[in-house]
Chains A and B, each alone.
Chain A
Amino acid sequence: MPEHTPGAILEATGLRKTFGDFTAVDDVSLTLTPGASLAVVGESGSGKTTTARMIAGLEQPTTGTILLAGRQPPGPRARTTERRRFAQHVQMVFQDPYTSLDRHQRIGDSITEVLALHTDLRGSARTARMTELLEQVGLNPQQAISRPRSLSGGQRQRAAIARALAVQPRLLVLDEAVAALDVSVQAQILTLLQDIRRQTQVAYLFITHDLGVVPHIADEIVVMRQGRVVDRGTTTEVLDRSQHPYTRALIDSVPRRGWKPRRRPATPT
């Protein structure tokens, strides 16, 4: 049994994942305390999603350990009740909200369904909680009867966040959750996520290829490249003082005032 630091919500140690001969994630260790927010940043293919999926229990690490609130996640053959209990620790939000929302289901129903499965709420109490969740993510309770298709991309992502919050998870893993949105909608979702974190003490593992959004969502940064952690620190340390050339390249890629796009010196793609 791996050692548990009291108070830690996530302790991932030495995570490694191989697909055949290929090592997608190599010796990644991450920790999070309640209400904290850690960004995992890197180019596409650097192993971010694989790391996220292992922590959310969607993928088994080849080696390494994961503790969520001091407990090991149930394996793929664990009993349903055990896996449900695990769901209350960690939930995931994806780039494409349709990964967690059913196209044909009204968004109110898709939240109520989660409440029925994971809580003791019944009848009007359950409906009241569903309404509260919609309001928490900035949706109008009247939109409970909307199907995902009739919502905008930003509204759909709000609905997916509401569904993830329904079980009151201690940790939310957000994998490129704002990547497909307009910058203006990104700002809305990032602001919403910051409010929710303050209100509920939920912790975030925020996966992104865009260092530009990190100061608006995370206190700490881990930089991944080719499956490995190459740089880490508090957001200010990494953004203002990192000397790591790869981190500098990621920072230099973010458009901002006075920015000019530049070709990178040849690196294998």
Chain B
Amino acid sequence: MTGTHALLEVKNLHVTLTGDRRRRTVLHRVDLAIPAGAALGLVGESGSGKSLTARTVLGLLPQGARVEGEVRFDGRSLTAMAPAALRGIRSHEIAMVFQDPRAHINPVRTIGDFLTEGLVTTRGVRRAVAEARAAALLGEVGIADGARRLRQRPSELSGGLLQRVMIAAALLTEPRLLLADEPTTALDVTTQAEVMAIIDETRLQRGLAMLFITHDLALAAAVCDRIAVMYAGSVVEELPSGHLSDAEHPYTRALMASRPDLGGPGKKLTAIKGRPLSAFETGPGCAFAPRCPDARDTCTTQHPALLPAGSGQAACHFPHHPRAAAGAAERSTSDA
């Protein structure tokens, strides 16, 4: 399909959940757009709402969730779609890879059963054909002895190998969008580099779009075209990956400065003070104000809207370009 719209569009998303009897806001405002074949990194600290954003896209929120705003896939509204149609999209067009593969695979069944089941039962592909396809895909994700692996069980595979199996499973349905939620967080860095290389290569070869969720800005920047930074249930900055070093939002810059690095002995690590707020704890001002080195009075009283800034958008009253002179003009907003 062609058109001016992105493949995935998340507009003005607001989500509340009921937990401990009270209804709580978990997403304040999330806006995202991923064109076909492009990759967006959704980055933020634990609890900022990254996983819930992905779950909203898939229509997999817990019972009692209330969703405002809209999610559109290829021009169709997922939020307004009937459950059966949504299931169709989920099994054919959008695939997901999670942080903990062991939680998403049946431990007593073989890798072969896991990979071919969908093809055989819902698509009527012959078993032998499905197995050949699965083995070929395992080869694509760097597992050479695919035929042998198909007969093994999850417990016989290391975390890194199992995650590659999950990637193969995601590719099997030939989706157009891959949602990858911290797929390498549980792996060591060498395995992470390999798994990310595999995701990156197969994605580019197939023209797959991707929403890549991580707490690591440097990792997201390496495999994504653009980055959306989340804080306390809202997207606070959105920009091209290549422009991270001149981010507009103080939070994005603080995240950059707190990334351990091999930048030589002179590179100092600057931790962000305090802890991130949960979406339900935020007051009228900017959620990052209590931890922000540049916060002024306005920041604690007025909510900043996501507005064009630099090479993207930022939700900050005093966005500033680190290379530009200090004292950028205040940006007032009407929505409190």
Contacts and interface: CB of A to CB of B under 8 A. Distances in A.
A104 interface: no
A184 B262 contact: no
Given A184-B271, A190-B269, A261-B197, A249 B190 contact: yes
A149 B191 CA distance: 30
Contacts of A235: 265
B137 to A, nearest CB: 16
Contacts of B189: 209-212, 250, 253-255
B168 to A, nearest CB: 15
A212 B261 contact: yes
Contacts of B198: 263
Contacts of B200: 260-261
A155 B275 contact: yes
Given A184-B255, A187-B272, A255 B216 contact: yes
Interface string B177-208: 00000000000111111111110110000000
A64 interface: no
A191 B159 CA distance: 30
Contacts of B262: 211-212, 215, 239, 251, 254, 256
A261 B263 CA distance: 17
> SS class of chain A's interface: helix, strand, loop or mixed?
helix
A184 B190 contact: no
A264 B191 CA distance: 9
A239 B261 CA distance: 11
B250 interface: no
Interface string A50-86: 0000000000000000000000000000000000000
Interface in B254-273: 254-255, 258-265, 267, 269-272
Interface residues of A, number: 43
A251 B244 CA distance: 22
Contact of B218 (A215, A236, A259): A259
A213 interface: yes
A241 interface: no
A199 interface: no
5 contacts: A152-B46, A210-B188, A212-B260, A215-B262, A261-B194
Interface of B: 45-47, 142, 144, 158-161, 188-198, 200-201, 215-219, 221-223, 244-245, 254-255, 258-265, 267, 269-272, 275-276
Top 8 nearest A-B pairs (CB, nearest first) are A261-B196, A209-B188, A187-B258, A187-B271, A255-B218, A261-B197, A253-B193, A182-B215
Given A153-B46, A184-B215, A187-B258, 16 more contacts: A43-B188, A44-B188, A152-B275, A183-B255, A183-B258, A184-B254, A184-B271, A188-B258, A215-B261, A215-B262, A249-B190, A253-B193, A256-B263, A261-B200, A261-B222, A269-B158
